[in-house]
Structure 1
Amino acid sequence: MSGKDGSAQQGSLFGEILDWMLAPLLLIWPISVALTWLVAQGIAGRPYDRELGEMARSLGQQVAAAEAPVKGRDRYALAPEAAALLRVDASDTVFYQVLGQRGELLSGDAGLPVPTEDAPVVPWELHFRDDEVGTDAVRVAYLWVAPEGQAPAGRTLLVQVAETLGKRTRLTNEIIKGVILPQFVILPLAVLLVWLALARGISPLNELQRRIRSRDSSDLSPIDEQRVPDEVAPLVQAINDLLARLDSSMSRQKHFLADAAHQLKTPLAGLRTQAELIQREIDAGRSNPDELKRSLAQIARASERAAHMVNQLLSMARAEDAEQGMRREPVNLAEIAIDTVRDFVPRALERRIDLGYDGVLPEDSRLRVQGQPVLIGELIRNLVDNALLYTPAGGLVTVRVVEDPFGQVVVLQVEDTGPGIAPGEREKVFQPFYRSLGSGVEGSGLGLAIVKEIAQQHDAELALDDTRVRRAAGGESPDGQGPGARFTIRFPAGPAETP
């Protein structure tokens, strides 16, 4: 069954199971009637075949014992009394026939057909067949008879006795009635019992449905698997797994929203404080242009921090949007990296940081990354922004794209000469709103969390290490600069671009 949109609609599970249980039953029932009819015919014909065979054998014995012709009839013709006794049957018509060795009629009914089998003639061996006399269907018993005083291989006579099928048909019908009529009572009863059994068997599902519907919308605790049938246990386990993932996701969202509100509260509070100070200064008539400029500059910095925080929150939302991550296309990673470096050059010059790109050029790069261009661009922007924040003046930030010679991955690296990240903190820095203590750098704490989320959506491997070797103590590199931080992301390579 399909809806207006052509999509298949799932019907009732109860009706589906009931259909599959009753359909074979209703299909087998007419087959059972046909088989019962065949068996009843065999059962009804067996006693009548024995009686018909005895009549044929008795007639054969009389024919074999005939010694001399009687006036007015052949030697092998039955006496009128015997013939009359043979035909006495209130239900069916009985025919008999005696044929000579050459097929001539010696006695009986000429219309009775002769057997057509080519089997060898064995005297006194009884045979049966179905045949017709005129328009009447008959059952025939026949045998070959050797007259007394002759060798078995000598002259043989064919003796046949046939009767119509009235008694057999009536007995067959009686048997059919005795077997089939009770089925008309048993079949509806069986359907009812199947329906009741199925309704009772499916009742645990109704109970499970009632338990789930009665839950509060905030109740994400697992469903008790001990109170469900074994067949439904895998479904309940899958639902519990979904509830656990949903609970974890909602907990992360609540934590994220709480942290975001806390982070936004600081710049907004600063904006409000500076605005109130300016208002009081103006009301008191003590407005100094230099002080007003300083307050306005602080307002500008606070608003910039708030705007940056909002942008990071939007970026985090885009990174967690699984549907957007599914819309993938071939991406030239080198091209996006170079464009991002160009965008950050003014900021790097302002901070006196040497920002550069080192790697394959877009026109030389044949490998492509299957991904979402906007998200990959956001990933590189956050890595470069993080490097510029933590690199002191006179430092160096390098963005690098390297292709695997085996064509398996495309490697993106962003490294700096800043203070680096201690090994114990390298897992924590990818958590939302986490910032290293003592760094003195203002930031939202979302940049690296966004990087990790985008990398996971693109099945990329993310690694963090030092740019230079640290000293045994002090955390600095041998040349006096900081050990720096190097972020390495290995993207699975897509198909190579054909020249």
Structure 2
Amino acid sequence: MSDEEPGNAMRANPFAPPDETEPAAPSRPRSLFGEILDWMLAPLLLLWPMSIAVTYLVAKTIANGPFDRGLETDAYVLARQIHPVGGVATLTLPDAARDFLTGDNVDKVFYQVIGTRGELVAGVSDMPLPSEDDRPQPGLVEFRDATLHGNDVRIAYTTVAPSTDGSMSGNGQSVLVQVAETFDKRSALANEIIKGVILPQFVILPLAIVLVWFGLSRGLAPLTSLQANLRARRPDDLSPLEASSAPPEIEPLVTSFNDLLTRLEQNIDLQKRFIADAAHQMKTPLAGLHTQAELALRDDVSPEVRRSLEQIATGADQAARLVTQLLALARAENRSSGQVFTHVEMAHLARLAVRDWVRAALAKQMDLGYEGPDEAVFVEGNPVMLREMLSNVIDNAIRYTPAGGRITVRVQPKRDTEEAWIEVEDTGPGIAPAERPKVVERFYRILGREGDGSGLGLAIVKEIATMHGGTLTLGDHVYQDTPRLAGTLVRICLPLSRETPSLP
């Protein structure tokens, strides 16, 4: 394919520099535990093979010591056996010495005696010779490493001075005595030393890693405790953390976090106070607007004006209801504003709430009923807030259930789970499963749904239920007596009171 073909024209250049305009994806920081563990274990694992190498060198030095002394003794013994015979150096060895110099089953021993004229007196002839400068003084033994017959050997060598009486003639050169030994026993001893040092390390190293892991876990325990403390807190708990109980290293972090909580609490309080003040200020003019519209409707006005006045009155009622709900929502959200919790009998409270909404239900020709147990059902809560919660659920059911529908309020004690179930079921259009998580959000309304609600009713119910340690569940309900009749089921689960007060 030529360079002008479309295939090459559209091919990306793999060697082109990256586009600097595209922001790089932020890399996630590593775990603090893993970072410290790496910096502690990496040097340990790096130093371990280095320690093995150093240990091997030390073991070789230790192994060479006793064998060098033995080899030095052999060289001294061999030097003492050199005697002049007819002016020539000769070596006279007893049988025991010859057997000793032949070596053992492990190492091979070689020896060599070079006379004053450079002739071979005894021993092997091909043993490497030291240089003239390296020959030691008579009576001193030197060591060197060499190769003999394909074996690495350790050589101990010394010199024997010629007799001063001229019994050993020559050119004034000393007699050279060399004893060589292979490294087998030395290597075996060095390996034994290595095994004695390395094998325990295979046990110590994993144990050290476990101890480091345990130490880090214990050292980071305050962070884990701080995390557990934050996770266990209620969403509305903005109280400061105990900075004095934190380690000095993280105390500044805890102090800064407490400062953040303080500022957050102040901002939330300002927001709630603004909502409450605004709602209070709006109630009076809305009530006046509704009253003026009602008074104007008593006069003889044209149909167009009457229609406008009715819309004004309806709008004022809706706005007043919205203000009331905003006040209820502000009180429910402000859970730390000194709400007093007492023993509340939910069955009695539910009957009162149903009684409050009978007139609104009859206006839409609805069957509003109550079902409850004969026994008292007590919960710990604020009666005003709980009644507001029930009113919002019933109001929501009346607004969205078609005329002629059925609404039932039910209170059930569940002793097995220590809960009180407050259920409100209706024959309304129901709530789709995908919409249920959204309808409990503020000001959310399902598209196409008839009704003049503000979208705050279920949000208030959820806040009040959460404030009392309960939950809100939305579902479907099918009436057993009329299978074709279905609707919405709203269930509020509140914890039962542990202490049941005596009724008057």
TM-score normalized by the length of structure 2: 0.50
Paired position in structure 2 for 1:209: 227
Deviations 1:163-188 (A, max 9, x none): 00111111111111111112222222
| Mapping 1:191-340, distance limit 5 Å | 191-265=209-283, 268=286, 271-282=289-300
Does the CA contact (< 8 Å) of 1:145 and 1:158 recur in 2? Answer: yes
Deviation at 1:270, TM superposition (A): 5.6
Q: Select the residue among 58, 63, 85 that pairs with 1:68.
A: 85
Which residue identity is paired with 1:130?
Answer: D
Partners in 1 of 2:150 and 2:294 — Cα distance?
121
Q: Select the residue among 48, 53, 69 that pairs with 2:72.
A: 53
CA gap 1:150/1:267 in 2 versus in 1, 3 angstroms: farther
CA gap 1:150/1:35 in 2 versus in 1, 3 angstroms: farther
SS of residue in 2 equivalent to 1:98: strand
Partners in 1 of 2:201 and 2:276 — Cα distance?
72
Which residue identity is paired with 1:68?
Answer: V
| Mapping 1:75-224, distance limit 5 Å | 75-79=89-93, 81=95, 82-101=97-116, 103-116=118-131, 118-119=133-134, 121-149=136-164, 154-224=172-242
Q: Select the residue among 18, 35, 40 that pairs with 2:54.
A: 35
Deviation at 1:68, TM superposition (A): 1.1
Which residue identity is paired with 1:162?
Answer: A
Partners in 2 of 1:168 and 1:162 — Cα distance?
13
Deviation at 1:268, TM superposition (A): 4.6
CA gap 1:281/1:267 in 2 versus in 1, 3 angstroms: same
| Mapping 1:340-419, distance limit 5 Å | none
Partners in 1 of 2:55 and 2:272 — Cα distance?
72
Deviation at 1:92, TM superposition (A): 0.9
Deviation at 1:25, TM superposition (A): 2.1
Does the CA contact (< 8 Å) of 2:111 and 2:177 recur in 1? Answer: yes
SS of residue in 2 equivalent to 1:195: helix
Partners in 1 of 2:300 and 2:39 — Cα distance?
86
TM-score normalized by the length of structure 1: 0.50
- Unaligned residue ranges in structure 2 (runs of 5+): 1-23, 320-504
Does the CA contact (< 8 Å) of 1:60 and 1:145 recur in 2? Answer: yes
Count of aligned pairs between the two proteins: 283
CA gap 1:103/1:246 in 2 versus in 1, 3 angstroms: farther
Partners in 2 of 1:142 and 1:213 — Cα distance?
80
SS of residue in 2 equivalent to 1:76: strand
Deviation at 1:42, TM superposition (A): 0.7
Partners in 2 of 1:192 and 1:170 — Cα distance?
33
Deviation at 1:199, TM superposition (A): 2.5
Partners in 2 of 1:273 and 1:114 — Cα distance?
130
Which residue identity is paired with 2:276?
Answer: A
Which residue identity is paired with 1:191?
Answer: I
CA gap 1:50/1:267 in 2 versus in 1, 3 angstroms: same
Paired position in structure 2 for 1:17: 36
Deviates more, 1:199-208 or 1:260-269: 260-269
Does the CA contact (< 8 Å) of 1:69 and 1:76 recur in 2? Answer: no
Partners in 1 of 2:153 and 2:42 — Cα distance?
40
SS of residue in 1 equivalent to 2:260: helix
Paired position in structure 1 for 2:45: 26
Partners in 1 of 2:186 and 2:165 — Cα distance?
38
Partners in 1 of 2:94 and 2:79 — Cα distance?
16
Does the CA contact (< 8 Å) of 1:14 and 1:198 recur in 2? Answer: yes
Deviations 1:24-70 (A, max 9, x none): 2222222221111111111111011011011112222322xx12149
Partners in 2 of 1:281 and 1:101 — Cα distance?
153
Deviations 1:274-324 (A, max 9, x none): 5444433345x8x9x9xx9xx99xx9xxx9xx9xxxxxxxxxxxxxxxxxx
Which residue identity is paired with 2:27?
Answer: A
Partners in 2 of 1:128 and 1:223 — Cα distance?
74
Does the CA contact (< 8 Å) of 2:75 and 2:178 recur in 1? Answer: yes
Partners in 2 of 1:186 and 1:21 — Cα distance?
15
Partners in 1 of 2:74 and 2:300 — Cα distance?
139
Does the CA contact (< 8 Å) of 2:81 and 2:93 recur in 1? Answer: no
CA gap 1:121/1:127 in 2 versus in 1, 3 angstroms: closer
CA gap 1:192/1:121 in 2 versus in 1, 3 angstroms: closer
Does the CA contact (< 8 Å) of 1:68 and 1:75 recur in 2? Answer: yes
Does the CA contact (< 8 Å) of 1:78 and 1:107 recur in 2? Answer: no
Partners in 1 of 2:200 and 2:77 — Cα distance?
41
Deviation at 1:272, TM superposition (A): 4.1
CA gap 1:261/1:102 in 2 versus in 1, 3 angstroms: farther
Partners in 2 of 1:119 and 1:138 — Cα distance?
18
Deviations 1:444-491 (A, max 9, x none): xxxxxxxxxxxxxxxxxxxxxxxxxxxxxxxxxxxxxxxxxxxxxxxx
Partners in 2 of 1:93 and 1:275 — Cα distance?
126
SS of residue in 1 equivalent to 2:85: coil
Partners in 2 of 1:204 and 1:253 — Cα distance?
34
Which residue identity is paired with 2:177?
Answer: V
- 1:7 equivalent to 2:21? Answer no
Does the CA contact (< 8 Å) of 2:81 and 2:91 recur in 1? Answer: no
Deviation at 1:225, TM superposition (A): 1.5
Deviations 1:397-416 (A, max 9, x none): xxxxxxxxxxxxxxxxxxxx
* Percent of residue pairs bearing the same amino acid type: 52
What's the Cα RMSD here?
3.5
Deviation at 1:106, TM superposition (A): 2.9
Partners in 1 of 2:163 and 2:100 — Cα distance?
24
Partners in 2 of 1:113 and 1:20 — Cα distance?
52
CA gap 1:154/1:142 in 2 versus in 1, 3 angstroms: same
